[in-house]
Structure 1
Amino acid sequence: MTALADRGGAHESTFKVRRRATRRTVADWVLLIGIAVIAFLVAVPFLIILVNSFKSPSDYAASGPLTLPRALYFDGLAKFWNYVDFPLKLWNSFFISASVAVLAVLVSILNAFAIGIGRVRGRTWIIVLFLLANTVPQEALLYPLYYMFKQVNLYDTTWAVIIIFTVIQSAFGTYLLSSVFGTFPLQVLEAAALDGASRWQILWRVIVPISRPTLSVMLIFFFIWTWNEFLIPLTFLISNDNQTVPVAISLLQGDKIMDVTTTSASALLGLLPTLVFFLIFQRTLARGITAGAVK
């Protein structure tokens, strides 16, 4: 009986501790309400775009942008899809963004391995140089890059944009990974070297697998950042067959075919691919950030 009473008392105390842990304070409720308000304000523009994408021009003129459509109107989506050859623009954006993401991560790995683990001379100044490269505005790069790619006959090709953004993104990736690799346990590297592994094997069989969460986060962000870029693709992709989705949307803003609802439809089509990409890889992104925080 005494054992049963002790066990019952233990369960009761555990229940009280759990109930006390789940009890929310006033500060917690204020924080939750603030997060909900911010999330709502962020979602409002997307909701307005979604609503107006399925409105007819007459419905928009009669009821304005903040009311639900009386009937679903798909002509705006179809008009934009056919007028700009949206599948081609979608492929251009995907090809450029995926190529930049993969190449920038590879270049960042090689640079960071040499700087963070190879301990080259002037390591600190090299990292500072990569950091400063990220602060240079793109407007300052346009003319020298335009002249250079004109000389090598790569102007108005997707490879010009891929090369430019690979260098830009890998500058940030090198700065980030060199800091991560610099804190890598030397005992692991020495053990791999004693087992006969070369530097190339140490990089791809030891360092890269352990750093996979960080590399996954970089890959996702490089893809999204490149997809949303506008100024450099607008400058270097003047042919209709080479343009990306953001450039195609912007060039049609002053066209007579583009009314408000068609513009909303174009924005929706431009937003959906990145949203789908983010939803697919959100677990990978969350795991990578959590793993980095735990380390």
Structure 2
Amino acid sequence: MSTSSPSLTAVPATPRKIRKARGRRPTFGQWVLLAAAFVVALVIAFPFLLILINSFKSPADYNTSGPLALPSSLYFDGLVAFWERVNFPEKLWNSFWTSGLVAIFAVLVSVLNAFAIGIGRVRGRTWIIVIFLLANLLPQEALLYPLYYMFKEIGLYNSGWAVVIIFTVVQSAFGTYLLSAVYGTFPKEVLEAAALDGAGRWTILWRVIVPISRPTLSVLLIFFFIWTWNEFLIPLTFLVSNATQTVPVAISVLQGDRLMDVTTTSASALLGVIPTLIFFLIFQRTLTRGITAGAVK
């Protein structure tokens, strides 16, 4: 009686095993880049951590242990003092109202300008784009007196609409420069197909161009909101009454000529940065998709 040896059947490798076999260990250069990125992230996050630590520290604890030590006990009087002193909910609403309107209006103006320049192919489009680029290079200090005189004459001084109008123009200058380059490379076949179907210019703009460029517009909307929220000089100049001030302006009232309450100022800075941090976390995926869509053609 003959015995046959059992046959060996080859088991196909799973895709996970194949990817694992093909995977390579990080090289020394990759580890160096990772360490450098960690150091840069730590340097960027250090001011926020410093504000977070000192926001819950009493003045006596700060004078005893310094700014780098952890608080011995949680101290909330600084947050309460700033909240009640400047009427923080009112300042928060002013910042949301101003930043939201600027973001919406600036994106709208940028789309209309870029549509005329990038797709409409107006004459002298190169020089127009250069002018918009130069407008972004002007320092705000050079604009203060002309803008102050103009809004004083039309009766919008000490009004939130003055800040909205100013930053709508400033932010849309950058948006027009960016979108003009994007719309300049827009596929002509898509526009011609829409025109053959009987679509007019407005239909092409709102039904074809805007939906396709929505990721880029979302990125601009987020950036315009955050940039306007963090503005300080122009709101400080044009919003003199307490009822119209924004959060960054309200934080500055805590600083005196010779004396500054460090713990209360840290608490005010923490309250000022939390809304933008929440806004960024909510729209983080939208921002990532927009940047990725702009990088992949």
1:236 aligned partner? 238
Deviation readout 1:40-75 (Å, 9 max, x if unpaired)? 111111111101100111111111111111111110
1:73 aligned partner? 75
1:218 aligned partner? 220
- Higher alpha-carbon deviation: 63-72 or 99-108: 63-72
- Give the Cα separation in 2 of the matches to 1:125 and 1:103: 24
1:161 aligned partner? 163
2:108 aligned partner? 106
Structure 1 residues 74, 129: CA separation in 2 closer, same or farther (over 3 Å shift)? same
Deviation readout 1:224-271 (Å, 9 max, x if unpaired)? 000001111111111111111111111221189951111110110111
RMSD in angstroms over aligned alpha carbons?
1.9
2:286 aligned partner? 284
Q: Is the 8 A contact 2:158 2:240 kept in 1?
A: yes
- Higher alpha-carbon deviation: 282-291 or 32-41: 32-41
Structure 1 residues 56, 16: CA separation in 2 closer, same or farther (over 3 Å shift)? same
AA of the residue aligned to 2:137: T
1:40 aligned partner? 42
- Higher alpha-carbon deviation: 241-250 or 257-266: 257-266
1:252 aligned partner? 254
1:130 aligned partner? 132
SS at match of 2:164: helix
AA of the residue aligned to 1:68: L
Residue correspondence of structure 1 range 19-98 to structure 2 within 5 A: 19-98=21-100
| Aligned-pair CA distance for 1:21 | 2.3
AA of the residue aligned to 1:200: W
Structure 1 residues 73, 120: CA separation in 2 closer, same or farther (over 3 Å shift)? same
Runs of 4+ in structure 1 off by over 6 angstroms are none
Deviation readout 1:199-231 (Å, 9 max, x if unpaired)? 101000000000000000000000000000111
AA of the residue aligned to 2:78: G
Q: Is the 8 A contact 2:254 2:261 kept in 1?
A: no
Which has more radius of gyration? 2
**Scaled by the length of structure 1, what TM-score is found?**
0.95
| Aligned-pair CA distance for 1:18 | 3.1
- Give the Cα separation in 2 of the matches to 1:244 and 1:53: 20
| Aligned-pair CA distance for 1:16 | 5.9
1:148 aligned partner? 150
SS at match of 2:69: coil
- Give the Cα separation in 1 of the matches to 2:116 and 2:8: 64
- Give the Cα separation in 1 of the matches to 2:101 and 2:15: 57
2:3 aligned partner? none
AA of the residue aligned to 1:36: F
Structure 1: tracts of 5 or more residues without a match: none
Aligned length: 292
SS at match of 2:199: coil
Deviation readout 1:174-219 (Å, 9 max, x if unpaired)? 0000110110001111111111111101000000000000000000
- More helix as a share of residues: 1
AA of the residue aligned to 1:142: L
Structure 2: tracts of 5 or more residues without a match: 1-5
Deviation readout 1:83-125 (Å, 9 max, x if unpaired)? 0000011111110000000000000000000000011111111
SS at match of 1:134: helix
**Scaled by the length of structure 2, what TM-score is found?**
0.94
Identity of aligned residues (%): 73
2:295 aligned partner? 293
2:175 aligned partner? 173
Match of 1:270 among 249, 269, 272: 272
